[in-house]
Amino acid sequence: MIKNSVFRRVVHLGMILSLFFITHAYALTTDQMTTALKTLYQEAVSFSKKVEDYPPDSKEKVTITRILNMLKQDAKKIRVLSDTESSAKTQAEYKKMAEQWKKIRSFIRDMEKDLKQAETAPLKTPEDILREIEAYRRRIESLESRLDEMPVPVDRMSERQRVEMAVKEEDWQTVKTRLDKALLHYPDDLELHYYLSLYMEAQKNYPAARDAILEALRLGSRNARYWSKAGDIYLQLGLYEQAFGAYAEMLLLDPRNVPARLNLAGLLMETGRVDSAQSLYEEVIQLNPSHPDAYEGLGRIAWQRGHNETAKTYYQKAITRNSRSPKLYLNLGQIYMDQKQYTYAIRHLEEVIRLDPDHTEARFLLGKAYWHTFDVARASVYWSQVYRRNNRAYNISFWLPAAYYVQAEILKNEDLFRESTRAFRNALDINPDSYHWISWGNYWLGKYYLTQNKPLLAETYYIKALETNPNLSEALIALGILKWEQSSPGEARKYWQQALKINPGNQEASAWLKMTQNNP
């Protein structure tokens, strides 16, 4: 017992000396502040254990709980300030905290004295007890008033504005720090719970984001923005019916709500209810004829149904209303690719790159568009950019070496042997397993030399493609067409029949056989 008493006195003395030096030092360090705070916190915890059996609403328990919460907030504040501990502003904050800790320690010691006196005092009369209770009540009120004078968040609105500013800057670490502080003081602030859902969504913690937005809705169910966020989070969780209900609530709050209709239409598209989605997009255009998302939605529906010309019209209208959207140019470029209108596809896909230089899919599609126009040099440039960004994307380890190989063969046939060797080495560096890409490259060389009016060279490359891969249907069909044009119908049919044998569902081979069956 004596040893413990001596030890506690030494600790108290150390605390006093620590706080003295901190408050009078010219430069405070984070380590000094942390050590002093830990000591004070341990003392507060020790006192809280002494009153843990007290009623929750007792003055002792309420006061020590408030002290512990304030010390926890100070610990978080020290972590934030630690990076700038040498600045004048941080030093001023450190000294202010140290002064507060001295007062807090005084509170704790006063309360401990009161506890000891209560334990050792002789039995008192009821009148004595009442007098002491009244005195103790006044003492507690005095302590509480002194605690109330200590700094707390200025007001609800200023805390909310700080969080909102951090959200706009997408500084999620600051958002979390400020939310922890603000929600401690204002747990009933629905806007803070909304910001908490944004933070959790940014961390991809969708269950926690759902809980946060539901709390915001519990506090204020008439806010369409909250229902919209709830719908978005439900979509991320794959809970389509709940998302549908959230978006429907938005429409109940405001029947002319355009975002609600767009959200519902997108959800209906996700779940295959295309006709209903189309009706909603058309309603949006009636409400707001200049809204690009409605035209984009109608364009997507038309494209999905195979109505490419209608889809192009809608996408062009969307671009007229929003010329800064890479997605619109990308989709329109893909439609032109489907229609084999590669020049127009290139024009729109290059616009995607201008708006979003990191757009990998657009670079891959540009490579394919140039490939189909036999500009393999540009195709290899775009595909090499895709390969550097992600060498597993879009089967790029097949397409890029095929492009290098085609370049190598064209250069070789032009007697540019050094350049040809370099291009072929590039192909092997990307993918040494040449079985698939070299056969496809030979097939494409056959197509290229046909456009150059060199049918014999084209036939040579078609045969090379089949030597590497006898089951390459595209080469069989192309060789059959070449033989037909060379007035060799028997050989032509042989190649088409071979393609059908490999794939009985090959419609192109079937069409050629039917078209030529009555010809000698």
At 477-501, the pLDDT tens digits run 999 999 999 999 999 999 999 999 9
pLDDT per residue as tens digits for the range 305-341? 999 999 999 999 999 999 999 999 999 999 999 999 9
DSSP 121: S
Say if 389 falls within a structural domain.
Answer: no
Environment class of 113 (CB within 10 Å of its CB; exposed 0-12, middle 13-18, buried 19+): exposed
Residues 10 and 74 in one domain: yes
Say if 316 falls within a structural domain.
Answer: no
Phi and psi at 242, nearest 5°, equal -65, -40
Say if 367 falls within a structural domain.
Answer: no
Phi and psi at 359, nearest 5°, equal -80, 100
The helix-helix angle for 172-185 and 156-168 (nearest 10°) equals 160
- pTM for the model: 0.65
Query: Position of tokens 């709980």?
Result: 65
Residues 185 and 251 in one domain: yes
CA–CA dist 330, 446 (Å, integer): 30
Domain assignment of residue 102, given as a range: 2-119+127-149
Q: Mean pLDDT of all residues in the chain?
A: 88
CA–CA dist 101, 22 (Å, integer): 11
Q: Which of 240, 255, 270 is the last residue of a domain?
A: 255
Say if 330 falls within a structural domain.
Answer: no
Distances (CA, A) of 58 to 106, 120, 185: 20, 21, 20
Residues 515 and 442 in one domain: yes
Highest mean pLDDT among 90-94, 177-181, 429-433: 429-433
Q: Which of 255, 271, 286 is the last residue of a domain?
A: 255
Residues 113 and 194 in one domain: no
CA neighbor of 231 nearest in space, from 255, 259, 254: 259
Q: Which of 220, 255, 290 is the last residue of a domain?
A: 255
Residues 75 and 106 in one domain: yes
Say if 278 falls within a structural domain.
Answer: no
pLDDT at 12 over 70: no
Residues composing the chain: 520
CA–CA dist 442, 472 (Å, integer): 11
Distance between alpha carbon 124 and the CA centroid of its chain, in Å? 68
Residues 66 and 187 in one domain: no
CA–CA dist 130, 116 (Å, integer): 18
Residues 104 and 138 in one domain: yes
**Coil, helix or strand at residue 450:** helix
Residues 50 and 142 in one domain: yes
Residues 69 and 132 in one domain: yes
pLDDT band at 435 (very low <50, low <70, confident <90, very high): confident
Which H or E element spans position 151?
none
Residues 181 and 248 in one domain: yes
Domain of residue 497, CATH code: 1.25.40.10
CA–CA dist 47, 45 (Å, integer): 5
Residues 8 and 98 in one domain: yes
Say if 310 falls within a structural domain.
Answer: no
Say if 90 falls within a structural domain.
Answer: yes
Residues 138 and 179 in one domain: no
Say if 337 falls within a structural domain.
Answer: no
**Number of independent structural domains in the chain:** 3
